[in-house]
Structure 1
Amino acid sequence: MTDAKTKAAEAEWTHCLTPEQYRVTREGGTERPFTGPYWDNHETGIYRCVCCKTPLFSSDTKFDSGTGWPSYFQPVDKDAIKNIRDVSHGMVRVEVRCAECDAHLGHVFPDGPPPTGLRYCINGHALDFEKTA
């Protein structure tokens, strides 16, 4: 059962997010590959949660995974994200969420480059980009 506080929070999210940002972050959706923002961004800066603006990933850890989603080999701070076991769609994966606001970001896979060997495959609609000099 949805309480008044949950309904109020949902109303706030629908007010401050685009429909696609809401679908991805609040409903656990996924954008189509090569369609979202930032998959081909090569500027220097910080990628923040689109919902709460928490810094999540740095351009220093971004790499071209060829998947069509922004990919990173590590977060800015391990405490900025949380990993959740995801058994949807007939497979076992690790979902990545913002630790601050619980926004769905994407998934992490063990096929990334050194030094971590991880690939954080993140929906561009879950991110805001802050360019740095």
Structure 2
Amino acid sequence: MAALAGATNLLEQFTIPNQTLAAPPGALPERTVARVVADGAFPAVVGRTDSLLVIGMEGTPPPTTKPGFGVLVVDPQERVIGVMVYEGDPIPGAPRLGQVSVAGGSIPLIGVQVDPAKIADPRCPSLFPDSIIR
């Protein structure tokens, strides 16, 4: 339940001025966590082609899940927190930062900068657990 609330809160950040990323952050980790809404978290590889990002999600969501777009989540210090994968269409007007390779296909990647405390319940496990990429 907390993961669904966090995923919803994350999308609401796109309505707040200066939260939507116009470009990827300069420093990128080699790996991050990709969470599929209403499913699990998976390790992901982070790469760059020219000016676009490529996130390679390792693992496959259930066949009933139809990934539509990914959201790169960056904290106020421009550190990558993770990627949330949603069904449906991307947020209208959000700049495309790259793509997420998932389930044998590619989906658009957009991004948001947010204080992690605004999208997570401190009493619940992390939306993007570091243990996934260790």
Q: Shorter-chain TM-score: what band? A: 0.3 to 0.5
Q: TM-score, normalised by structure 1?
A: 0.36
Greater radius of gyration (CA): 1
Name whichever structure is richer in strand by fraction.
2
What TM-score results when the alignment is normalised by the length of structure 2?
0.36
